[in-house]
Chains A and B, each alone.
Chain A
Amino acid sequence: MIRIENLTKQYGGTSVVDGVSMLIERNSITVIVGTSGSGKSTLLRMINRLVEPTSGRVLIEEQDTRAEPAHLLRRRIGYAIQGHGLFPHRTVAENIATVPRLLRWSAERVAARVDELLRVFQLDPALYAGAFPHELSGGQQQRVGVARALAAEPAVLLMDEPFGALDPIIRAKAQEDLLQIQDRFGTTIVLVTHDMDEAFLLGDRVGVMSEGRLLQYDRPAVLLTRPADPFVARMTGLTDRAMRLLSLTTAGEVAVPGPATGPQVPASASLREALSEIVWCGADAAQVMAADGTPRGSLTVASILAHGRPG
Chain B
Amino acid sequence: MPSTAGSARGLPGVPLSAVPGGVRLDRLGTLLSLAAVAALVLLPFVVFKANRIVPGDPRGFFQALPGLLAGACALALAGTAAVAVSGARARVRLAAALIGLLALALAVAAAGSALTPPGNKVVRIAPGAAFWVLLVCLGLMATDAITRLRPSPGRRVLFLGLFLAVVVLALASGLFDQLSIMREYAVNAERFARELRQHVYLALGSLGAAVLVGLPLGIFCHRVPRVRDAILGTLNVIQTIPAIALFGILMAPLGALAAAVPLAERLGIRGIGAAPAAVALFLYSLLPIVANTVAGLKRVSHAAVEAARGMGMTNGQVLLRIELPLALPVIVTGIRVVLVQNIGMVTVAALIGGGGLGTFVFQGIGQTAIDLVLLGAIPIVVLAFSAAVLLDALVERLDRAHR
Binding site for B on A (CB under 8 A): 48, 50, 71-76, 79, 81-89, 98-99, 102, 132, 134, 145, 148-149, 158
CB neighbours (8 Å) of A89 from chain B are 325-326, 401-403
Binds A, one of B16-24, B266-274, B309-317, B342-350: B309-317
A48 to B402 alpha-carbon distance, docked (Å): 29
Q: 1/0 per residue B316-327: CB within 8 Å of A?
A: 010000100110
Measured CB to CB, the closest approach of chain B to A134, in angstroms, equals 5
Q: How far is the CB of B61 from chain A (nearest CB, A)?
A: 55
Return A101 CB to nearest CB of chain B, in Å: 10
Q: Pick the interface stretch among B90-98, B102-110, B120-128, B299-307.
A: B299-307
Q: How far is the CB of B400 from chain A (nearest CB, A)?
A: 10
Q: Is B308 an interface residue (CB 8 A)?
A: yes
- Whether A50 contacts B310 by the Cβ 8 Å rule is yes
Residues of A within 8 A of B403 (CB): 88-89, 132, 134
A-B contact pairs, 24 of them (CB 8 A): A71-B314, A72-B312, A73-B312, A74-B311, A76-B312, A79-B307, A81-B307, A81-B310, A82-B303, A85-B306, A85-B308, A85-B310, A86-B304, A87-B304, A87-B308, A87-B326, A88-B301, A88-B304, A88-B402, A99-B311, A102-B312, A134-B403, A148-B311, A149-B311
Q: Which 10 A-B pairs have the closest CB atoms?
A: A85-B307, A75-B312, A79-B310, A74-B312, A85-B303, A89-B402, A83-B303, A71-B312, A71-B314, A85-B304
CA distance A74 to B307 in the complex (A): 11
B residues near A145, Cβ cutoff 8 Å: 307
Chain A contacts of B401 at CB under 8 A?
Answer: 89
How many Å lie between the Cα of A132 and that of B326 in the bound state?
14
- B307 close to A102 (CB less than 8 A): no
B contact residues around A98 at 8 Å (CB): 308, 311, 313
Distance of A75 Cα from B308 Cα, bound (Å)? 10
What per-residue 1/0 map shows which CB atoms of B61-93 lie under 8 Å from chain A?
000000000000000000000000000000000
How many B residues have CB within 8 A of the partner chain? Answer: 20
From residue 376 to 403 of chain B, which have CB atoms closer than 8 A to chain A?
401-403
Q: Are B311 and A79 in contact (CB-based, < 8 A)?
A: yes
A277 smallest CB distance to B (angstroms) = 41
Most buried by A among B303, B307, B401: B307
Q: Which residues of B contact A73 (CB under 8 A)?
A: 312
The smallest C-beta distance from A177 to any residue of chain B, in angstroms, reads 19
Residues of A within 8 A of B307 (CB): 79, 81, 84-87, 145, 148
Residue of B at shortest CB range from A82?
A: B303
CA distance in complex: A87, B301 (Å):
9
Q: Which residues of B274-309 have CB atoms within 8 Å of chain A's CB atoms?
A: 301, 303-309
**Docked complex Cα distance between A88 and B308 (Å):** 12
**Docked pose: A99 CA to B308 CA in angstroms:** 9
Q: Give the interface of B toward A (CB within 8 A).
A: 301, 303-314, 317, 322, 325-326, 401-403
- In whole Å, how far is A110's beta carbon from the nearest beta carbon of chain B? 14
Partner among B309, B314, B325, B326 whose Cβ is within 8 Å of the Cβ of A50: B309
A71 smallest CB distance to B (angstroms): 5
- For residue A218, give the distance in angstroms from its CB to the closest CB of chain B: 28
Please give the distance in Å from B76's CB to the nearest CB on chain A. 48
A88-B326, A88-B402 as given contacts; A71 in contact with B313, CB under 8 Å = yes
- List, in ascending order, chain B residues with CB within 8 A of A75's CB: 311-312
| Minimal Cβ-Cβ distance residue in B for A134 | B403
Q: Chain B: which residue is nearest A84 at the CB level? A: B303
Please give me the residue from chain A that is nearest to B315 by CB atom: A71
Report how far A295 CA is from B10 CA in the complex, Å: 69
B308 CB contacts on chain A under 8 angstroms: 85, 87, 98
Residues of chain B within 8 A (CB-CB) of A50 are 306, 309-310
B226–chain A nearest beta-carbon distance, Å: 16
A74 near B304: Cβ-Cβ < 8 Å: no
B310 touches A48 (CB 8 A): yes
Nearest-neighbour CB distance to chain A for B19, whole angstroms, equals 44
Q: Which residues on A sit within 8 Å (CB–CB) of B322?
A: 87
Would you give the shortest CB distance from B398 to chain A, in whole angstroms? 9
CB distance from B330 to the nearest CB of A (A): 13
A52 to B294: give the CA distance in the assembly, Å.
27
Cα–Cα distance between A188 and B327 once the two chains are bound (Å):
36
Q: Are A102 and B311 within 8 A (Cβ)?
A: yes
CB distance from B238 to the nearest CB of A (A): 33
Known contacts A87-B322, A89-B326, A89-B402; is-contact A102 B313 (Cβ 8 Å): yes
The residues of A that contact B306 with a CB separation of less than 8 Å are 50, 81, 85
Q: Within the assembled complex, what's the spacing in Å between the Cα atoms of A82 and B346?
A: 50
- Starting from the known contacts A50-B309, A84-B307, A148-B307, 11 additional A-B residue pairs (CB-CB under 8 Å) come to A50-B310, A74-B312, A79-B310, A81-B306, A81-B307, A86-B307, A87-B304, A87-B322, A87-B326, A89-B325, A89-B401
CA distance A102 to B402 in the complex (A): 21
A-chain residues with CB within 8 Å of residue B325 when the two chains form the complex:
89
Tell me if A74 and B310 are in contact (CB < 8 A). Answer: yes
Beta-carbon nearest neighbor of B305 in chain A: A85
Residues of A close to B317: CB separation below 8 A: 102
Query: Is the Cβ of A85 less than 8 Å from the Cβ of B301?
Result: yes
Per the bound structure, the CA–CA distance linking A83 and B306 in Å amounts to 11
Q: Most A CB atoms within 10 A — which of B301, B303, B322?
A: B303
- Chain B residues with CB under 8 Å of A149's CB are 311
Give the distance to chain B from A155, nearest Cβ to Cβ, in Å: 14
Give Cα distance in the complex from A86 to B304, angstroms.
6
* A84: B residues at CB distance < 8 A: 303, 307
Q: Which residues of A contact B303 (CB under 8 A)?
A: 81-85
| CA A306 to CA B317, docked complex, whole Å | 57
**CB proximity of B90 to chain A, nearest CB, Å:** 29
Q: In the assembled complex, how far is the CB of residue B233 from the closest CB belonging to chain A, in whole angstroms?
A: 27
Query: Which chain B residue has the least Cβ–Cβ distance from A69?
Result: B314
* A74 and B326 in contact, given A84-B303, A132-B403 (Cβ under 8 angstroms): no
In the bound complex, how far is the Cα of B301 from the Cα of A50, in angstroms?
17
Chain B, residue nearest A158 (CB): B310
What is the chain A residue whose CB lies nearest that of B325? A89
CB neighbours (8 Å) of B314 from chain A are 71
